[in-house]
Every structure is written in structure tokens, then in C-alpha cells.
């Protein structure tokens, strides 16, 4: 049997001692990532009854699960919609419409647009990230490409005044991407929620108030 590397052993130890992992397990949430979203959404009161929310890079479903619960809590009579997409399979969640596919493929984007049926989106979430090779010169461009695709989707489907929350990795292309966001939204903030591991280069850009036209 192969032995685990020291780095993988360290990750396992860190993961299972993580208070957010324990909390997610205790509260029946699919992933600790739900607490990142909870902090980011509640700080700016992004949710309203009846919203249409698209969750890109949704598996294993922590964000979609939390959003669905919150929308139901806000007003059960106006549940809105939660549409989730991922290249990985995701076990079903009640009240969440899931599309399995690679967001980089035109056919998958077309299927997502068909599901929306012309309905404008209030909030676009993107927690997408490429499979890491460990080589920053490879990983960062892949991550920025996914970010560009998510921004393009928001350009086309997010209603004026809507919000876009996206995970980014600091590195080449990051500053240019944030500048592009500022041309599209009234307010852009960079946040690192408490549930993000400190050594992770990830941050979240929250863009609010989509402008009717790009500056």
C-alpha cells in the first residue's frame, strides 16, 4: 500500500481538525465552503425573496444548499430559483436545478441558458477553480480563464443592479480582472472570509450594482 506524503498527511490533519469542517458536519451542510458564502452574503445582505441565483462550480453543493435554505427561510411563498452547474457530478438537492457539464463548452453554456428560459438572474456565484498542477504559470492562467467565462456569463444574464460574487486567485491577471469588474459594477470589494484558509491565495470579489452599460 502506498504511503501518504507528509503534505497530504498534514492536509488531512488540518482538514479534520478544522472547526468549519466540524461545524458543517454537525449542521448537515455539504461543505465548509458554505460558511464563506454565509459571511460574504450576510455582510452585504445580498439575498431577497424570489431571487434567481446561478451557482457556477457548485459541487459538492455547499453553496447551493445554503442559498436554497436561506431563500426558503426568507419567504417560502416566493422561493425563487437556484441553478447549479459543475463539471463534477453532484448529488441532488431539493429545490436546486443541477446541470452536469464543463462550463468551458459552448453546448453546456447553451443548456444553462435554456434552463433559464430568458429569465434574468439576480445573483451569479462562481466558486470555480481548475484542477491544480502545482505550477503557478499553468494554474493561474487556467483560473483566470474560468473567471473571464463567469464574468461573460454575468454580462449576458445578470440583470441591471444585480450582484456577482467570484473566487479569484491572486497572481497574474488578477488586477486587470478587478479593473474590468469596476467598469461593470457600481461597487467592487475584495474579501477574504474567515473560513478561507489563511495560507490559501484565494480571495473573493463581490461586485454589486451591475451597470446598464460597461464604462
Domain boundaries, the chain: 31-210
Long-range contacts of 135-140 (CB under 8 A, 24+ apart): 136/171, 139/169, 140/169, 140/171, 140/172, 140/173
Q: Which CATH class is domain 31-210?
A: alpha beta
SS3 25: helix
pTM for this predicted structure: 0.85
Confirm whether residue 106 is marked as ligand binding: no
Identify the active-site residue in 13, 132, 167, 210. 167
pLDDT digit string, tens, across residues 119-174: 999 999 999 998 888 888 899 999 999 999 999 999 999 999 999 999 999 999 99
Is 6 known to be catalytic?
no
Alpha helices in 75-197 (DSSP H): 106-116, 136-157, 174-184
pLDDT digit string, tens, across residues 179-190: 999 999 999 999
Pairing between strand 52-56 and 202-210? unpaired
Confirm whether residue 86 is marked as ligand binding: yes
Q: Provide φ and ψ at 19, rounded to 5°.
A: -65, -30
Confirm whether residue 102 is marked as ligand binding: yes
Amino acid at each position: 500500500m502506498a504511503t501518504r506524503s507528509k503534505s497530504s498527511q498534514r492536509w488531512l490533519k488540518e482538514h479534520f481538525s478544522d472547526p468549519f469542517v466540524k461545524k458543517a458536519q454537525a449542521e448537515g451542510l455539504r461543505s465548509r465552503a458554505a460558511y464563506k458564502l454565509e459571511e460574504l452574503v450576510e455582510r452585504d445582505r445580498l439575498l431577497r425573496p424570489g431571487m434567481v441565483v446561478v451557482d457556477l462550480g457548485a459541487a459538492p453543493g455547499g453553496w447551493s444548499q445554503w442559498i436554497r435554505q436561506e431563500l426558503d427561510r426568507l419567504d417560502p411563498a416566493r422561493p425563487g430559483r437556484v441553478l447549479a452547474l459543475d463539471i463534477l457530478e453532484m448529488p441532488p438537492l431539493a429545490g436546486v436545478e443541477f446541470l452536469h457539464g464543463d462550463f468551458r463548452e459552448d453546448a453546456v453554456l447553451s443548456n444553462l441558458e435554456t434552463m433559464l428560459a430568458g429569465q434574468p438572474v439576480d445573483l451569479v456565484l462562481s466558486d470555480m477553480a481548475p484542477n491544480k498542477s502545482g505550477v503557478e504559470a499553468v494554474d493561474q492562467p487556467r483560473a483566470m480563464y474560468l473567471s473571464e467565462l463567469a464574468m461573460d456569463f454575468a454580462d449576458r444574464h445578470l440583470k441591471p443592479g444585480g450582484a456577482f460574487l467570484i473566487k479569484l486567485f491572486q497572481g497574474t491577471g488578477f488586477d486587470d480582472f478587478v479593473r474590468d469588474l469596476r467598469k461593470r459594477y457600481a461597487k467592487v470589494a475584495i474579501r477574504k472570509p474567515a473560513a478561507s484558509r489563511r495560507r490559501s491565495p484565494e480571495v473573493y470579489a463581490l461586485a454589486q450594482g451591475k451597470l446598464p452599460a460597461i464604462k
